[in-house]
Amino acid sequence: MGVANHSSMGDFILAGFSNQPEVEVLLFGLLSIFYFLTLVGNSTIILVSCLDPRLHTPMYFFLSNLSFLELGFTTSCVPQMLVNLIRSDRVISHLGCVAQLYIFLWLGATECVLLVVMAFDRYVAICQPLNYLTIMHPRLCFLLATVAWGAGLIQALIQFPSTLRLSFCHTRLVDDFVCEVPALIHLACGDTTINEVQMSVSSVLFLVVPLILILVSYGHIAGAVMSIKSSSGCRKTWRTCGSHLVVVFLFYGTVSAVYLHPKNHYAQQKGKFLTLLCTAVTPMLNPLIYSLQNKEVKEAVRRLARIGRDLDSGDLLNSACLKSTPRF
């Protein structure tokens, strides 16, 4: 199905790199590996954060939220990408496109706010260490996580309906891998002024403002780190914060390039690679960045693996957990 008439309920076609089949063969293999590593890595972060009492802290609570978010985000689009890479028609149903668009809007905005929350957590931990557990008590952590998920939901509820009302006159060939707002605006034949204004406002509220807040937080953190006299403490602080900063720049760099680029063919082609990076590569890298840079996560994985090997006794897991006191 290559051409569709002016019907609001017709299927869409996700073009991807259909004009470069040799690229798509390579992409299928890479995306399969990336998706598998994303599932394993983020599931591991969630598992160790829940099962190891030593990781029952605000930092790992927010990191678990991020991993859960990444699992939903990548699962909403990568399986469809893989199917389309080996299928000739590349059709996605209207309902499937709608669901993908909604999940993208919701989870994308949620991650923008959640990364600010994580930066605030690091700011309190480093700049107010004596009051950290008093400030970041469980009720506040749950409230901040709820605000992040709720803000993403509200932005999706605002931008989603206007995107659905776009008119697609002659073709429903989406020149991308997923149904997202920039690709659908590029496809529309009617007036898209309202949609572009909404996207600009949303980009400022969920990309520019959060990034400024994160940079301000890390400005204060940098000042606090400079005053640390212990070199080992300074290195540990930079390792912990460096992991978050790498995730921030990966996420905001790719998303900003996709949502702030002009509407022209070259930018649209470049946007495909950025979409792949945002939806498949970044969710895979997040758990690797945190686990490779964080000794606590690696030790927790080793402890759970050791417990798993020794689970001949039914009380072993309980006794191992009782040895450590939760800090959160």
Token look-up 């470049």 returns 270
Q: Which two tokens mark 176?
A: 């991308």
What span, in angstroms and rounded, lies between the C-alpha atoms of 175 and 15? 5
What span, in angstroms and rounded, lies between the C-alpha atoms of 209 and 197? 17
Q: Indicate the DSSP class of residue 7.
A: -
Q: Which two tokens mark 76?
A: 């909403």
Q: Which two tokens mark 89?
A: 């028609």
Q: State the average pLDDT over residues 262-286.
A: 70
Mean pLDDT, the chain, integer:
79
Token look-up 């403002």 returns 209
Least confident of 10-24, 40-54, 117-131, 155-169: 10-24
Residue 266 has pLDDT above 50, yes or no: no
Residue 146 has pLDDT above 70, yes or no: yes
Query: DSSP string spanning 203-270?
Result: HIIIIIHHHHHHHHHHHHHHHHHHT---HHHHHHHHHHHHHHHHHHHHHHHHHHHHHSS-SSHHHHHH
pLDDT at 5: 38
Q: Indicate the DSSP class of residue 315.
A: T
pLDDT at 180: 81
Query: DSSP string spanning 113-143?
Result: HHHHHHHHHHHHHHHSGGGHHHHS-HHHHHH
User: pTM higher than 0.85 for the full model?
Assistant: no
What confidence tens digit (pLDDT) does each residue in 163-196 have? Answer: 878 877 666 788 778 888 887 887 788 778 888 8
Which residues pair with residue 173 across a beta bridge?
A: 13
> Topology of domain 12-322, per CATH?
Rhopdopsin 7-helix transmembrane proteins (1.20.1070)
Phi, psi (deg, nearest 5) at residue 317: -65, -40
Higher pLDDT pick, 56 / 168: 56
Task: Please list, in sequence order, all residues whose beta carbon lies within 8 angstroms of the beta carbon of residue 100, skipping any fewer than 6 positions away.
Answer: 76, 77, 80, 92, 178, 179, 180
Say which amino acid occupies 196.
E
What span, in angstroms and rounded, lies between the C-alpha atoms of 55 and 300? 8
At 234, the pLDDT band (50, 70, 90 cuts) reads low
Identity of the highest mean pLDDT range in 145-149, 224-228, 238-242, 273-277 = 145-149
Residue 278 has pLDDT above 60, yes or no: yes
What span, in angstroms and rounded, lies between the C-alpha atoms of 166 and 153? 21
| Residues 165-170: contacts with CB under 8 Å, at least 24 apart | 166/190, 166/192, 166/195, 167/6, 168/4, 168/6, 168/10, 169/6, 170/3, 170/5, 170/6
Contact (Cβ atoms closer than 8 angstroms) between residue 259 and residue 181: yes
What confidence tens digit (pLDDT) does each residue in 58-74 have? Answer: 988 999 999 999 999 99
pLDDT at 310: 63
pLDDT at 230: 64
Q: State the average pLDDT over residues 102-127.
A: 91
